[in-house]
Amino acid sequence: MATFLIPILILCPLAASLITFVSAGRMDARGIGMVACAGVGISAVISIILSVMLLSGPVTGVLQVTLWPWMHMPGFSADIAFMLDRVSMLMILVVTVVGLLIHIYAASYMYHDPGIARFFACMTLFVAAMLVLVLASDLLCLFIGWEGVGLCSYLLIGFWYDDPANTVAARKAFYMTRMGDVALLCGLLLLVTATGGSLRIGTVLAAVANGQLAPSGINMAALFILVAALAKSAQIPFQTWLPDAMAGPTPTSALIHAATMVTAGVYLIARLHDLFAMAVPVMALTAVLGALTLLMGACTALVQSDLKRILAWSTISQLGYMFLALGCGVWQAALFHLMTHAFFKALLFLTAGAIIMRAHHEQDIFRLGGLRHTMPGLTAAFVAGASSLAGLPLVTAGFYSKEMILSGVWSAHFNLTHGWTLSGPPLWGMALLGAFLTALYIFRCVFIVFCGKAGTGAAGRTSRLMSIPLGCLCILSLCGGVIEMPDTLLPLHLFSGLLDPTAVLSHTHQPAWLVMAGAGAPLAGLGVAWVLWGRSSPVMREIPGQAPVICPVRTGRGMDALYHYAFVQPFCLLAWLTRLDILNHAVTGTGLLIQTASARIFRARADFLGRLAIQATRMIRWAGHLLGLLHNGRVRWYAAWIAGGLCAGLAMAVLS
Amino acid sequence: MHALALLAASVTVVGAIMVITRRVAVHAVLYLVVTLLALAAVLVMQGASFAAMLEIIIYAGAIMVLFVFVIMMLNLGQTDSTREKEWLRPRAWLGPGILATIVCAELLYCRRPLSGPAPALAPITAHDVGLSLFGRYVLMVELVSFLLLAGLVSAFYIGRNRMGRH
Amino acid sequence: MPAFSFNDTLLLATALFSVGLAGILVRRNMVFMLMSLDIMLNAAALVFVGAGARWHDATGQVMFLLILALAAVETAVGLALIVCLHAHGRPTLDADTGNLLKG
């Protein structure tokens, strides 16, 4: 099979990135957009060709290609090697196809921006880094892509660097994900010790399966990798960077949320699911954190008033669903939801970008309103994306993927140590509540923005270049889910068969009311949203913002404040204490104290003993003072002390 | 010990002493170049011709040129020379001299004369060094590249900051 | 018999190291301190090469290369600092004046 296509797949966006970067100022905006779209487009075509080739081969077929050995030394070796199996095939399809649609949209959206060359250089580099990440067959090679994705997100979030707020947001995203990178590196080092010097994914998983790593080691490695995934995918407790990442241009947000950045964590855990399956406590932790994040994200989205922030929090919430599925061991469901989420979240972001652009950069949903009359096409697109996000039954893609997650969560069961168990139904209940809240917040947004009184006037029209991707994404997010259905509806399992053809999921028969509940929750949410915000005389327009609970949640600053008090302030306090030089003062102060105290005590008896004691304490004080003098800040004196220490050490070595 | 080896070694040590006693910075740099060239000769006599070439090209060539450039930028003159003379009074030599002598004496005392088999005569070529460098020590090369990058960035930052203010 | 035995190498390296140490301690001008530091680094590198020649191992010269890179970085950053200080009104380059970090 033609393995040479895999490097070309990565090289195309990379070359486009280089060309656009070098041609800044030499090429017009149209040319730059065309080069970028061509780069991503060619790789989309190649990924489709590769998928067809892979699917026509044997069911367990894997395309392997080793470009060159990176480093080989005794005890460790790493290659620049790529691998295409069915999981990475799904990922490259999502990354390149959704990425292409976003690029086409961005070519029109960013047309008048002076930094368009820089923008497209970063965007195509982003796609290339993500392709490296999902195709790597060596975990160290994956780490290159992991870092590249982080770098590109930093560059793109801070794209409009004139505003200090944007650079602050970019730095925040960088720091937050950096913590995860450190954790990932720790996890990789642990795994290297198990495999004896190779980080090939196949070798690592085989070593783990053969028991070359102690159970505690497996737990530690899985925990480290989980922390990395949590940071990259903006889950609790790292969720604060994603809403701030809205500072970048809207196509960037779409790319980060739909195709590239945040899905990396989900992909990493799905790729290493065999490792995680052996670390039950970590799996339970993943599931619980996912469930908490999905509820927290949905609740926060419910009280936001910024259109893009609502979508950002909804991404966090939906990623919580994926982590819940990963924790419950149904990684196929997580990847399925990843795919449908990429479709509808890209659609929602791109539509929101078009709306904001035409509404004179107004992002507050309460100032928008009645847009259904002025932009009917965008309304249809947004409603399609919103229904898919809410998972309205039967007609949307989101319904099927969410249903798959819910049924998987229901049958999950964790045997933790010491007789502690955690079973699926409570998690299922949380997920169902999350589904209800999802429908509630997104249709709140829909009703406020598109119905009701007309707000800010609309201007211009959406260009054709922007409508084409929106149309494609509409179709995908409505119909992209019918390849996998619950048994109760139709025993159709194309997707899970595609991912894991050898091990067919054990389709335990589940009661029909599970599916009914999963279908009912979004409808209930839609109904409540209609009653609250949709009717001609809405019950309430705005949730009161001054309530002490809601205010920090709305701004999303609650967590930031917590971090500020928990991590930043102690450091500042330490620095302040060090500046005061407590130790020096303590030494001299103690000497002074003892001196005065002894002077008081022995004042009555001015005999020899008393004088001796006073002299002794005075000497202590002088000694403290002399010790302080050593720290005179002169570098030559410090060098002299080092040399003196060398003398003393050598003397000890000689004399002993 | 051959006469040539003795000559090279003594030039090295005398050059180093001249470096630390000069009052004019350019003179010191020139003496340092002489020291390094003599050291390269010592390395050649040990069969490490590759290291000697690097010593000449990188140390005596590149790094010393950096020193010369910086000294040119500093624009030192007669006042600096007199100030150096003032700083280098004989009293200033007392403490450092004693300390350095003690270290030297102790190091010499610790040194045990080796009495092993005679060392092999075959010199270590650049080929051997390359194989070792990119084989066993390839991770070291990566780390050194990090170090160089960090040095580049910090030197660039320090220089840029200066330009920004003026 | 090579011209330089390992013992002679150690002797030379010790002498160089002590000279460099004395230079660092006695000079107040930072340019001279950097040069003395380079002398000390060269002494350490000489020991590595000598040991490599003695036991016929290429590791000695690999270490020499790494020390070379270290010296290059150290010199570049140090000289940048010197230029920066000189431009910021410390034309004497006196190492003893930069004592703000005192305890």
Condensed to tens digits (0 to 9), the pLDDT of residues C9-56 reads 899 999 999 999 999 999 888 899 999 999 999 999 999 999 988 888
Which residues, other chains included, contact A537 with Cβ-Cβ below 8 Å and sequence gap of 6+? none
Residue C91 has pLDDT above 80, yes or no: no
∠ Cα B55 B60 B66 (to 5°): 130
Return all residues near A199 (Cβ < 8 A) that are at least 6 apart. A78, A138, A139, A140, A188, A191, A192
Question: Scanning the structure block, which residue is given the tokens 């159709």?
Answer: A492
Mean pLDDT over all residues of chain A?
84
Higher pLDDT, A599 or A337: A337
d(CA B41, CA B52): 7
pLDDT tens digits along A289-342: 999 999 988 988 888 888 888 899 999 999 999 999 999 888 888 999 999 999
- Is 50 exceeded by the pLDDT of residue B166? no
| pLDDT confidence of residue A626 | 78
- pLDDT at res. C5: 82
pLDDT for the residue A457 = 64
How many whole angstroms separate alpha carbon A383 and alpha carbon A395? Answer: 12
Cα–Cα separations (whole angstroms), residue A511 to A81, A89, A488, A518: 45, 33, 8, 12
Local structure of residue A531 (DSSP, 8 states): I
A83 DSSP assignment: E
Tell me the pLDDT tens digit for each residue of A619-628. 877 877 777 7
Instruction: Kindly state the percentage of chain C with pLDDT values over 90.
Output: 51
CB contact under 8 A, B138 and A72: yes
Interface of A with B in 60-79 (CB under 8 A): 71-74, 76
Contact map slice: C 28-87 vs A, CB within 8 A: 28, 33
Give the pLDDT of residue A570: 82
What pLDDT was estimated at residue A348? 92
Q: If pLDDT is split at 50, 70 and 90, which confidence band does A553 have? A: low
* CA A413 distance to own-chain centroid: 26
Mean pLDDT of A131-136: 93
Among all residues of chain C, which has the CA nearest to that of A637?
Answer: C25
Q: How far apart are CA A38 and CA A12, in angstroms?
A: 8
Helix (H, G, I), strand (E, B) or coil at A537: coil
ipTM of the complex: 0.90
Instruction: Find, among C34, C78, A635, the residue nearest to B19 by Cα.
Output: C34
User: Which token pair is C59?
Assistant: 């590791």
Å between C69 CA and nearest CA of chain B:
7
CATH code of the region C6-89: 1.10.287.3510
Summarize pLDDT for A214-264 with one digit per residue, the tens: 888 889 999 999 999 999 998 888 888 888 888 888 899 889 888 788 899
End-to-end CA distance of chain A: 70
DSSP state of A236: T
- The secondary element (H helix, E strand) that includes residue A73 is strand A63-73
Answer yes or no: is pLDDT of A547 > 60.
no
B131 to C21: CB separation less than 8 angstroms, yes or no: no
For residue A130, the SS3 value is helix
Residues from chain A that touch B142, judged by Cβ atoms under 8 A, are 71
Q: A115 phi and psi, to 5 degrees? A: -95, 30
Q: Which pLDDT score, from 0 to 100, does residue A92 have?
A: 92
Q: How far apart are CA A649 and CA A652, in angstroms?
A: 5
Query: Do residue A71 and residue B138 have CB atoms under 8 angstroms apart?
Result: yes
- The crossing angle, in degrees rounded to 10, of helices A164-195 and A201-209 is 50
Q: Decide if B11 touches C, using CB distance below 8 A.
A: no
Distance from CA of A190 to the nearest CA of C (A): 28
Mean pLDDT of A505-515: 68
Helix axes A201-209, A139-157, angle to 10 degrees: 120
Using a CB-CB cut-off of 8 Å, the residues of chain A touching C20 are none
pLDDT tens digits, residue range B49-99? 899 999 999 998 899 999 999 988 888 778 888 888 888 888 888 888 999
Interface contact flag, C103 A584, Cβ < 8 Å: yes
- pLDDT at residue A44, as a whole number: 94
Residues of A whose CB is below 8 A from C98: 633, 635
Query: What's the token pair of residue A541?
Result: 């327009």
